[in-house]
Amino acid sequence: MTATGQGATAARPIRAVLFDLDGTLADTAPDLIAAVNRLLDEEGRAPLPGEALRPLVSKGGRALLARAFADLDEDAREPLLPRFLSAYAEALSVHTRPFDGVESLLAAIESRGWPWGIVTNKPEGLAVGVVNGLGWTQRSQALVGGDTLAVRKPAPEPLWLAAQRMGVSPSQCLYVGDDARDIEAARAAGMASAAALWGYREGHEDPSDWGADVAFVDADALRAWLSAVDAASGP
């Protein structure tokens, strides 16, 4: 599946694009997995293979710790979260890279004069570090983290804030993400939504259940679709 629901955004001229970060723009899994395994080592436990953790990356630190420390209950795992975040903060751009096609996608968006930005549930300070490491700090027109506001996705407020910072109406934005809550947030914010099928998800998750307006197997397919949408909308 390259794209579905191609007519869904016809009544919504796109003039800006917002993205989730982990699993959408950047493959952050290697550095997050390394932080989990560092914590396991500190606790005298064996490391976990990457394939055991990678599908959970978009679910956040608590989900990763729930898999790594499955024998502990939620209350017992909670003190591990600050240690995990600290370990990750020390090495968050070692192996993190843009997904294939993302750089060309961002360049194509910029060539149209459209702003683009990031709305993530990752703590803002960590997100800033990742974005800086990727060289995107001066290019992204908005960065809203999971602790920027009192609420985070799937609440719409972070998306509204990002649109405000970019100077565009939510109705002019496309939001791209690799998790069901990304699509839910876009819908609540009044934005068109795109499912990034190249991201992180568990085997039982079916993106066709998310209700996204469009879905793409890779960033190149999204870039081609945006070009077609722009051409169809006229000057």
Q: Which of 20, 179, 182, 213 is catalytic?
A: 20
Which parts of the chain are beta strand (E)? 16-19, 26-27, 97-98, 116-119, 143-144, 173-177, 192-196, 214-216
Distance CA 85, CA 63 (A): 13
CA atoms within 13 A on the CB side of 29: 19
Distance CA 17, CA 2 (A): 18
Nearest to 195 by CA among 97, 184, 203, 204: 184
41 is catalytic: no
Distance CA 172, CA 31 (A): 34
Query: For residues 138 and 126, is the Cβ–Cβ distance under 8 A?
Result: no
Query: For residues 190 and 170, is the Cβ–Cβ distance under 8 A?
Result: yes
Distance CA 114, CA 93 (A): 27
Distance CA 223, CA 22 (A): 19
Catalytic residues: 20
